[in-house]
Amino acid sequence: MEDLEDIEDMVSGQEPTGQERQAARRSVVPRARRRKQETVEELQADSVIPGMQKIWMKTWGCSHNNSDGEYMAGQLAASGYQITENPAEADLWLLNSCTVKNPAEDHFRNSIKKAQEQEKKVVVAGCVPQAQPRMEYLKGLSVIGVQQIDRVVEVVDEAIKGHSVRLLGQKKDNGKRLGGARLDLPKIRKNPLIEIISINTGCLNACTYCKTKHARGELASYPIEELVERARQSFLEGVCEIWLTSEDTGAYGKDIGTDLPSLLWRLVEVIPEGAMLRLGMTNPPYILEHLEEMAKILGHPRVFAFLHVPVQSGSDSVLMDMKREYCVADFRRVVDFLKDRVPGITIATDIICGFPGETDADFQETLNLVKEYRFPSLFINQFYPRPGTPAARMEQVPAQVKKQRTKELSQLFHSYHPYEHKVGQRQHVLVTEESFDAQYYVAHNKFYEQVLVPKSPEFKGKMVEVEIYETGKHFMKGRPVEDSEVFTPSIAQPLRKGEVSGLPNVMRCEHTCRTPHGLDSPLPPEQRLMRLSGEDLIGTAEQRVRAHPARPNDGFIPSTLCSVCVFRV
């Protein structure tokens, strides 16, 4: 099996155009090779027609990874595959991995084993195979690299036929690393009301504990125009909330001669009234450069007054060993400035417990920092040495000490309640999802604080005024104010759950299936779903598929078909 890889950090000074991005993508050609020892089942696999199968997808990790998963699901659905939420009925499992922590990789590896035990086809994606493609448990599996998600249909097609394909190469043009797959690809949003947009891939840092850098590489930013167009298209599909994500949003634009505030001001121009934008994680060094502008942007009525700024440790000594490129004073300056200029702002942060070399005194400094700021959102992580990172070679803190420090910090975090003083307040909240227990709808106020509201259908996707009557550690509960109006921020009807976005209206069926189809479709022939006449329904399923790229059903119309167009949905 041949790997098309590896991470290369060559960056030149010129940002490629959209056409140049396309040319670079077309230059990457998958080389499918049969496994050396094929089973009888694999020898028969050539008779399997890709595109008629059900696919189950599982994604671990960050918002960036979730966005990649949405794009892969959209392309597969647009090509005729059926995305299912039931792993048992799926023909193929597409597993989109995270390499940040050991438990995430353990779950990924166990899922591969489970799929193989159930004789499912398997395709793996995400940061684990990109960073460690030669891991023993990945042998024989088809792999989609993090910059190759626009080729997912090709890889799945080959996997269905019993072949193994690995696409791990970096997309480049004249030596310059491209940001990744196009932003206008079809996608299936996990939540039709929320659009996740990756503004850049990779980062500029070299943290000693980080494995993600091995997968995502150096910084590569998308041009502002492409990002604004992606946001505009999302609003036309009924989205009312946008999340900007990347490995470090604060570094955006440094490779293409622009910066984060410039992007945000352009995006604010296209956000409809009542819709909201949430900015993802940024490291202290880059946000320090733009504090004045960022305070103005975070105070904008259509931007959540929320910022995720990881500190990782309250000790300068530990930060130096981590190569975080800032000190605790820098972090304090960011937080203090924003809390002063944006009253009520929510600052979320991350802390790693038990980093190699962390002393009791170092950990006490971390505890003191949390006591001082009482962060309402705190992500506590026990240190895990990731293979191939410098931190894995350092002298480790004993496991029991790491566990104890993690427990102590968690107890401190749960000892205070940040929302008690808000009982009785009236707040405008944007309702976007359902709670895990299905008892409430989940909304967020201006400060991206979670507010649970009654599960009334008319509230979903709406801006509602509520009065806070109860609080918990991570949430508030609000009841609608009687004299308030329910405001609809969406400028279009939201797509249904599971519906493919990013497709022009001319490509959607006018009937309930709204499937992309037709001879006049701009999709390539192999991706069209075409109208079938009675004559087309004659013959075996395989004969009909070969004659008609639509990959039709078996000659009858079950509930999963559009009864007017006879399209498989």
Higher pLDDT, 12 or 297: 297
CB distance 495 to 238 below 8 Å: yes
pLDDT at 13: 35
End-to-end CA gap in the chain: 35
Single-letter amino acid, residue 123? V
Confidence of residue 10 (pLDDT cuts 50, 70, 90): very low
For residue 149, is pLDDT > 60? Answer: yes
Q: Determine the Cα–Cα distance for residues 241 and 195; give it in Å rounded to an integer.
A: 6
Confidence of residue 488 (pLDDT cuts 50, 70, 90): confident
CB distance 309 to 283 below 8 Å: yes
Which domains, from first to last, does the chain contain? Answer: 18-173 (3.40.50.12160), 178-387+396-411 (3.80.30.20), 503-569 (no CATH)
For residue 117, is pLDDT > 60? Answer: yes
For 275, the token pair is: 């819709």
Helices (H), 395-536: 399-413
Instruction: Give the whole-number percent of the chain exceeding pLDDT 90.
Output: 70
pLDDT at 546: 41
> Pick from 436, 441, 483, 476: which is nearest to 458 by CA?
441
pLDDT at 399: 97
What pLDDT, in 10s, does the model give residues 191-239?
999 999 999 999 999 999 999 998 899 999 999 999 999 999 999 999 9
CB distance 98 to 60 below 8 Å: yes
For residue 11, is pLDDT > 50? Answer: no
Q: How many CB atoms are closer than 10 A to CB 421? A: 10
Handedness of CA 284, 287, 292, 298 (dihedral sign): negative
pLDDT at 175: 62
Instruction: Give the whole-number percent of the chain exceeding pLDDT 70.
Output: 78
For 344, the token pair is: 């009520």
For residue 35, is pLDDT > 60? Answer: no
Confidence of residue 27 (pLDDT cuts 50, 70, 90): very low
Q: Determine the Cα–Cα distance for residues 215 and 168; give it in Å rounded to an integer.
A: 10
pTM: 0.79
Q: Mean of the per-residue pLDDT values for the chain?
A: 83
For residue 513, is pLDDT > 90? Answer: no
What average pLDDT does range 3-7 have in this prediction?
32
What average pLDDT does range 265-288 have in this prediction?
96
Show Cβ contacts of residue 336 under 8 Å, excluding neighbours closer than 6 positions: none
For 513, the token pair is: 């299936």
From residue 545, give the alpha-carbon distance in Å to each of 49, 54, 371, 392, 509.
8, 16, 65, 52, 20
pLDDT at 353: 98
Lowest-pLDDT range of 87-101, 170-184, 302-316, 337-351? 170-184
Strand partners, 176: 173
